[in-house]
Structure 1
Amino acid sequence: MGGLDRTRGVRLRRSAVAALALSGMLAGCGLGEPKQTYEQAYEAMRPDAMAAMKEAWPGVEMEKDSADLEECGGLDMSADKNASKIEQSATYRGEVPAEDRRSIEELARAVGERLLERGWRNGSATRSPGKGDLEFAENMPGQVLLDMEKPGVHGWVAVEAFVDSPKRHSVSLNLVTECLRNPEWKK
């Protein structure tokens, strides 16, 4: 009987150690997270992106199509997300004037090249990383998508150019942060 009690005690200790390790892992998940807030990431990208867009697409009237804050905090395993972390995005859209004869590839590359001049790079860690030259994340008939990231900033810019009709091209620029800390959470 004594041997069974010892085996049970060993199992209980192992279970306790495993539970403690698991709780430590769950509590420590945030230790390697970026210190950057979603607001800081967005503001680090916005000036370059807006300037590149205006330089690359002169004459294109860009309008803010959408702006979203998405709650993404809480445990990854939970369907209930909270505002401890936020993903921020904003989309600008415009129609290219008929006299601008550039292809959709040329329109997207024009923004990408201006971002490269400002120290950005093609692709992102999570979206089709490019090597050197500009590479499209998507290149389908009538639509191209170019992802760009700014080193040290937790987010990316998606540049899209597409054909609306045989004689009309449209463009969009989408700024998106990663799921980052919300400094206003539970203040």
Structure 2
Amino acid sequence: MTATRTPTFPGRATYRQAAVVLLVSGLLAGCGLGEPDQTYQQAYDAMYPDAEAAMKEAWPEVEMLKDTADTEKCGGLDISADKNASKLRRSATYGGEVPSEDRRGLEELVRAAGERLLERGWRNGVEADIPDEGGLKFSVKSPAEVRLQLEKPGVHGWVAVWAHAYEGGSNTVSVDLATECLRNPEWKESKEESW
């Protein structure tokens, strides 16, 4: 009895291998497709001048002081608890007390800064879902706190404008600037981080 052979078609394995190679290379390339080329410092530098101008124009009598500033490591594998400095996230908060002569409510205070940012090409952020007149959308609106988040097109970060009411009738305003987790051009991989 002679064994029958299943006929093979030239190139079938080659097509299958090529498809697998294309799929794998596409997945690997796709991992980098969403990576912005912008560095954390470029994003911060693109946001700060507009935020500073909005603060000065909206609240000219408020002395805005830097409350916090932080640069956080966020590079490396997402599943790793130990992050490296290949990517960084930069943030800062500026705040001040509203003089008692300023009779504007919390919404008016926040709206004043938000409108200045809209004039400079900013738009409502992803967390904004409480509509307000003039094209603004708030993310928090309560008698004690009002928050507005805005983003600048083409910039990987956001600005949050806050106003708080405290017992005794004093109001404060603050602006938070934060970048996304972005490339650090000065990072060099050390031997410890390469393991």
Where on the TM-score scale, by shorter chain, does this alignment land: which range? Answer: 0.7 to 0.9
CA contact (8 A) 1:122 1:130 kept: no
CA distance in 1, matches of 2:26, 2:135: 43
Q: Any idea what SS the aligned residue of 1:153 has?
A: coil
Deviation at 1:29, TM superposition (A): 2.1
User: Share of identical aligned residues, percent?
Assistant: 68
Specify which of 78, 90, 93 is matched with residue 76 of structure 1.
78
Q: Which residue of 2 aligns with 1:149?
A: 151
**Superposition pairs for residues 9-24 of structure 1, below 5 Å?**
21=24
**Superposition pairs for residues 152-167 of structure 1, below 5 Å?**
152-167=154-169
Q: Any idea what SS the aligned residue of 1:165 has?
A: coil
Gaps of 5+ in 1: 1-16
**Superposition pairs for residues 34-45 of structure 1, below 5 Å?**
34-45=36-47
CA contact (8 A) 1:93 1:171 kept: yes
CA distance in 2, matches of 1:176, 1:147: 11
CA distance in 1, matches of 2:120, 2:75: 32
Specify which of 99, 102, 110 is matched with residue 100 of structure 1.
102
1:11-65 alpha-carbon deviations (Å, 9 max, x no partner)? xxxxxx79x94x9746752332110000000000000100011000011011000
Deviation at 1:140, TM superposition (A): 2.3
Q: Which residue of 2 aligns with 1:61?
A: 63
Q: Any idea what SS the aligned residue of 1:161 has?
A: strand
Q: What's the TM-score once normalised by structure 2's chain length?
A: 0.79
Q: Which residue of 2 aligns with 1:113?
A: 115
Q: Which residue of 2 aligns with 1:135?
A: 137
- RMSD, matched Cα: 2.4
1:104-136 alpha-carbon deviations (Å, 9 max, x no partner)? 010000000000011111123xx3368871111
CA distance in 2, matches of 1:24, 1:74: 21
CA distance in 2, matches of 1:122, 1:167: 29
Letter of the structure 2 residue corresponding to residue 158 of structure 1: A
Q: What's the TM-score once normalised by structure 1's chain length?
A: 0.82
Letter of the structure 1 residue corresponding to residue 154 of structure 2: G
Deviation at 1:154, TM superposition (A): 0.4
CA contact (8 A) 1:143 1:163 kept: yes
Gaps of 5+ in 2: 1-19, 190-195
